[in-house]
Each structure stands twice: as C-alpha cells, then as structure tokens.
Amino acid sequence: MKTLWLHIGMAKTASTAIQTFCSENAKLLEREGFCYPIFSISYPGISRAHNGCFLLKVIKDSDGTRDVNQEAANFQEGMKTVHKLFKSYDNVILSNEIIWRGMDVDKKNFWELMIKEAQKGDFNIRVIVYLRRQDSFISSNWNQLVKRQWTEETFEHYISRVDRTMLNYYDKLERMAALIGKENIIVRRFDREKFIGGNIYSDFLDAVGISITNEYVITKEVRNTSLYGNTHEIKRVLNSIPQIKDRAAQTFLVNILQEFSALSKEKYPSEMFSKEEANALLEDYASGNKKIAEEYLHEPNAELFDKVQKELLKWQKDNPYMADDVIRLIGIAGICLYQENQMLKKEVHELSSFRFHLEHPVKTIIRKIKQLTKK
C-alpha cells in the first residue's frame, strides 16, 4: 500500500538536519522508491527543505491576525500535489517539526484532516517522531529562543510558564494513536549514543526502512548549534538593545558568539538544571516514559531515557568566567570589523586603480614602457 511518511519532530531533535539531508539526497531516495518533494509554497525565513510546512503552519497578516483561510488554501494545494505524487511513487516523505506541538494547539483537528486525505488518496499514514529527554528539551528550547529570537526572558521565568502537559509524551502519543493506530507511530530516542548507525541521518533512514550508504551526502554535520557556557546569557542581554531587531545584526552577533561558544563551555561546563532539578523533573514523567518504551519501542522493563548520571554544575550568572567571555566577544567583534575594513580598503584601491587606467590609458602605457626599460 502507498504510504505517506510524516516526520513530525519534536522540536530540538535535529529536524532541520534531517530535512536538509533528505533534500540534498532526494535523487538517491527516489532510487529507493521514496519521494522527498519540494513545494512551490514558501514561508518567509523558512527553507523549502522543510517540505511539510503547508500541513500545519500558522500564517499571520501584517497586523498579527491569523489568516486561517490562507492556511487552509495552502493545505489543500499541498495535498493536491501529494495525491499527484502517489501516481508515480509508493512512498512520500513530509517533514514538519511544528506538528508535534501544533496538533494540540494550532490545529486540533489535524489528524482528522489527514485521515480524510488518506482515505481519499487510498494511502497509509506512518508517523516518525523523535523524543528528547524532558529536561534537555526545556534547556535547548529556551536556548533557541534566546539565540534566534529576541527574548530577554531568563531561564527561571521560562520554566515557570512552560506548559507541562506538552512534556507528557505518552499522552500525546496516545491521542495520535487513537486516530491513526499505534502500529503506525514510529518512536525514536533523540540520543546520539543510541542512533542506529551512529548518526541522525542513518537512524532516520532506518525508520523508513532504508540502509545508508557512502553515496549519501552530508554537507554539514551540525546544522543548528546551541550557545554554550556564558554565550547564551550574553545573547539574552544583547536582545534588550533595539539594534538587535535587525536580522542581519542578530546574525552577525550570533556568529561571533558561536566563534567562542565551545571555548566558553570548556572553561565553564555547566547546565541550566542541576542534577537534582533534572531528576525531579524526569520523575514527573517517569511512568509515561516507561510506557512509551514498552508499548511503542517494544522494550519491556526498559527506560525511555537514561537518568541524569553526572553531577551537573548549575549555571550561575555571577560565575568567574563571564568577564573573560565578554572580552572574547569584544575582541572577536573588533577583529571581524578590522578584517572587513581591510578587505574594503583593498577593494577601493583596486577600483581606484582600475578607474585610473580607464581614464588615463596613455599614462598607463608610458608607465608600463618605463617599467620595461628599467628591467
């Protein structure tokens, strides 16, 4: 039977890396009977490799009002293309990490809509979802908001408002399973030590029944790195200045912070949760996590996630390494600006020289003759 494979996230589980990998290797996937299509529908700031955005992507107009009519039109246009693709392929892969969250918030009838489309097109739906340990997800998600958005929110305030029901993975899976069937949900751990083949790409291909080979191209191993050490706090504070609202300025600063993020982590290896805090959080979801391992991964008496083993040093703002990291920020920014200035000077000099040759061709010829006679 024809199958629509839906990779639905969750967020902060290398979804962008998977999407880019599938897009880059679309021809090889086709050879295996799988189509990873790129649609004409586009969304500002989002790569078309995120090919499942049309399924569940909130659209707002200039005044912030949600445009549900355009959302519905995009959904219908995208699904129309999917139905056409099934005339040529037995398997179509769509990826959109927004679905994991949005199915309970933005489009609560999402699975009902997908079932209707599956019945209309006579295809099966199989879902792939990567689950990340709850404490790790919270830290990573806050880090992303600080890095890519303009939030000034502290970690303490962020965790105080997190919707804890979203972290009950078992209940979310059960709501899906009630409509599409538990047998159609493939759960994977987002744990680099447990990826089949040792990486997310091999693991994802295994989920759809493909073995990775050396033919597959991986152009960039890490696609969306977090900020470590003190760099996330520096970016959080920088988010308070008006100039950071300029996307280009934000990118410039993030690139500089990432230049020494690893060094900051090395000098001050710390986490946003302490070991005790992380274990207490995991205990709240221990029962559901264990059921996922048993019912979805078919691993009786197993744990979905390893418990926190190492003694975590909880990040503190008044740590003794902050001043050094601020100096690194100033130094690297200064060097970058200096190098750019030198490059611009060189370009101006070359343009001035070129202009002189155009305006004074005779003088140029005479100079060349003098240089030759001196030799």
Judge contact between 257 and 336, C-beta under 8 A: no
Output the tens digit of pLDDT for each of the chain's 375 residues. 899 999 999 999 999 999 999 999 999 999 999 999 999 998 988 999 999 999 999 999 888 899 999 999 999 999 999 999 999 999 999 999 999 999 999 999 999 999 999 999 999 999 999 999 999 999 999 999 999 888 999 999 999 999 888 899 999 999 999 999 999 999 999 999 999 999 999 999 999 999 999 999 988 655 567 899 999 999 999 999 999 889 899 999 999 999 999 999 999 999 999 999 999 999 999 999 999 999 999 999 999 998 876 777 899 999 999 999 999 999 999 999 999 999 888 888 777 776 655 556 655 555 665 565 665
Walk me through the domains of the chain, giving residue ranges and CATH numbers: 1-132+190-221 (3.40.50), 134-166+228-342 (no CATH)
Cβ atoms of 80 and 39 closer than 8 Å: no
Specify which residues 95 forms β-bridges with.
Answer: 7
Rounded Cα distance between 174 and 231, Å, is: 38
- DSSP letters for 159-223: HHH--GGGG-HHHHHHHHHHHH-GGGEEEEE--TTT-GGGSHHHHHHHHHT----TTS--S-S-S
Q: How many CA atoms are closer than 13 Å to the CA of 333, on its beta-carbon side?
A: 13
Cα distances from 358 to residues 17, 363, 368, in angstroms, run 49, 10, 15
